[in-house]
Amino acid sequence: MSKNNKTIYFPHDVDSSSDDKIQILLIDYGFLAVGIFWYVTEKMHKQEDGEITEQELDNHIKYCLYYERPFNDCSTTVKMSSTKASEIKDAFLETGLFYKINDKFTSKRVKYNLAEMAEKRKQRVEAGIKSGEARQQKKAGSKGSERKSQKPKSNDRSTTDERLPNETEQMKEKGKEISSLNSSREELLPTNKFLDYQDVIKLYLSICKSLPKIEKTSDTRKRHIKARMRENTIEDFKICFSKAENSSWLKESGFCNFWWFMKSQENFLKTLEGNYDKGFSASNGGNGAMTIKEKTCYNPDKPLKIRSIK
């Protein structure tokens, strides 16, 4: 363990292995992926903002996959392809263990822990300020004659009475700095993105009243929704759903539904950018003409082929 002033400790739930997200990692990739998750989580906690770049995330995962460690006088080498590293990274994002914000990756729990620690530091500073002020008042109440009779030592630069106000002012300034950076835990979390997939479903149902309703969800479908939540803002969802509701071509296409948007970021962006706005048709090409002869309707459970578009 590193022995420096920046060493910190963060809480670890004793039943974390029972968490649904961790269970998905265990089932799909085994304990190695869980170990990588905690390794990356430690690295995030070492950052002041709890965020790491995509390159740093890739390097941490590959480091764990390719790391060589001697064991019982033997050399055990874990060898996995770059594809496996990419799959584990995608699993972190799809399960919601990590999410992307401002081109960096972090975790809601890491953000919460750092905010919690910042709050505790702020409380300790405030307690120190009160303690310093109490000592100062106590000194001020002592007899003036006793203070004057006590001469400072030759190697002292100032008396105790002179040092206390300076210490108090420094602690106040430090408290103001922490307070300005960490005024609340909520400020450390993204405010322009959905945090619950249910909110995306509610928004779709409130806007796209002409499109097919949502009958049921599954783990696979939830992962698709969360993938779109990481890549798009709340305003993006509102614009995309509104454009779809106002597009006669999409409503009559037979394949456009909620899962068509969630399955593919490309479908989401084309709608968002107005490729299917009023005036679009397969014959005139529009802004995003479909060149395929046959379109497949997305259904996570059973893909269905629909009418041809010439």
pLDDT tier, 244 (very low <50, low <70, confident <90, very high otherwise): very high
This prediction has a pTM of 0.40
- Please give the pLDDT value at position 271: 92
Amino acid at 248: S
Both structure tokens of 87: 């799959």
Q: What is the dihedral of CA 146, 131, 173, 124, to 10 degrees?
A: 160
Both structure tokens of 271: 């709608």
Highest mean pLDDT of the ranges 32-36, 270-274, 291-295: 270-274
Closest CA to 225 of 196, 262, 269, 193: 262
Closest CA to 231 of 99, 107, 54: 99
Question: Per residue in 53-90, pLDDT tens?
Answer: 988 988 888 888 876 444 443 444 444 556 778 888 88
Just give the CATH number of 16-106.
1.10.10.10
- Please give the pLDDT value at position 10: 67
Q: What is the average per-residue pLDDT within 235-244?
A: 93
- Please give the pLDDT value at position 252: 87
3 state DSSP class of 229: helix
Listed in order, strand segments (DSSP E) in the chain are 52-53, 68-71, 74-77, 99-101, 104-106, 294-297, 304-308
Task: Report the largest interatomic distance among the alpha carbons of the chain, rounded to a whole angstrom.
Answer: 103
Question: DSSP class of residue 214?
Answer: -
- Please give the pLDDT value at position 168: 64
Share of the chain above pLDDT 90, in %: 20
- Please give the pLDDT value at position 62: 84
- Please give the pLDDT value at position 296: 42
From 89-103, 150-164, 215-229, 295-309, the region with the lowest mean pLDDT: 295-309
- Please give the pLDDT value at position 2: 42
DSSP secondary structure of 274-296: TTTSTT--TTT-TTT----SEEE
Q: What is the mean pLDDT of the chain?
A: 74
From 48-52, 159-163, 179-183, 201-205, the region with the lowest mean pLDDT: 159-163
Q: Report the alpha-carbon angle 240-243-247, nearest 5.
A: 140
- Please give the pLDDT value at position 150: 59
Q: Evaluate if residue 310 carries a pLDDT over 90.
A: no
Closest CA to 259 of 210, 204, 207, 221: 221
Question: Per residue in 124-168, pLDDT tens?
Answer: 898 889 888 888 888 777 755 565 555 555 554 544 444 455 666
- Please give the pLDDT value at position 102: 79
Please give the Cα distance from 303 to 294 (Å, whole number). 13
DSSP-assigned beta bridge partners for residue 68 = 77
pLDDT tier, 281 (very low <50, low <70, confident <90, very high otherwise): low
- Please give the pLDDT value at position 101: 85
Q: What is the dihedral of CA 227, 217, 235, 290, to 10 degrees?
A: 80
Q: In Å, how far are 41, 52, 117, 278 from 48, measured between CA atoms?
A: 13, 10, 11, 48
From 27-31, 104-108, 210-214, 227-231, the region with the lowest mean pLDDT: 27-31
From 81-85, 129-133, 192-196, 266-270, the region with the lowest mean pLDDT: 81-85
Q: What is the average per-residue pLDDT within 277-290?
A: 54
